[in-house]
Amino acid sequence: MSVGAIRGPVGSAGPLSKDDMTCPPNTHPSIFLSAAALPIHDWQFWVATAVALVALYVVAGKFLPRRWLPWPGKRSGRRVSITIDGKRPEGR
Partner 1 sequence: MNPKAERAADGVFRVAMLGNPNTGKTTLFNRLSGLRAKTSNFPGTTQDARVAVLESGATTIELIDLPGVYSLELETSESRVCREVLDGKLALKGERAGDPDAVLVVVDGSKLARNLTIVGESLRRRLPTLVVVNMIDLARREGIEIDAEILSEKLGAAVLLVSARSGEGCDKIVSMLAISRIPNQTPPGTVEGIERWADDVYAACARPAPTHLDEGDHAGEGPSEASRRVADTTDRIDAMLIHPVAGPVILAVVMAGLFWVIFSAAKWPMDAISAAFDAAKAWIEGVLPAGILTDMLANGVVAGVGTTLVFLPQICLLFFLMSLLEDTGYLARAAIMMDRLLRPFGLPGHSFVPLLGSHACALPGIMATRAIPDFRDRLATILVAPFMSCSARLPVYVLLVSILFHDQPALGAVAFVGCYALGIVAGLGSAMIARRTILPGKSRPMILELPTYKRPSLRTAFLLTLDRAGIFVKSAGTTILAICIVLWWLGSYPRSGPSPDGDLLRAQAPLQASAEGARDFDERAARADAMYAKERSMVGMMGRAVEPVFRPLGYDWQLSVGVLSSFAAREVFVNTMAIVTTGNEDGEDEGVLERVREARRGDGTPIFSRATCWSLLVYYVLAMQCLPTLAVTARESRGVKWAFVQLGWMSGVAYVAALVTYQMLA
Residue 39 · residue 45 · CB < 8 Å: yes
φ, ψ (nearest 5 deg) of residue 56 = -65, -40
Per rule CB under 8 A, count of chain residues that contact partner 1: 62
Q: Give the 3-state secondary structure of residue 13.
A: coil
Rounded Cα distance, 79 and 65, in Å: 18
Q: One symbol per residue from 12 to 51: x for binding partner 1 (CB under 8 A), - otherwise; what is it? A: xxxxxxx-xx-x-xxx-xxx-xx--xxx--x-xx-xxx-x
Residues that bind partner 1 (CB under 8 A): 1-18, 20-21, 23, 25-27, 29-31, 33-34, 37-39, 42, 44-45, 47-49, 51-52, 54-56, 58-59, 62-65, 76-84, 88-90, 92
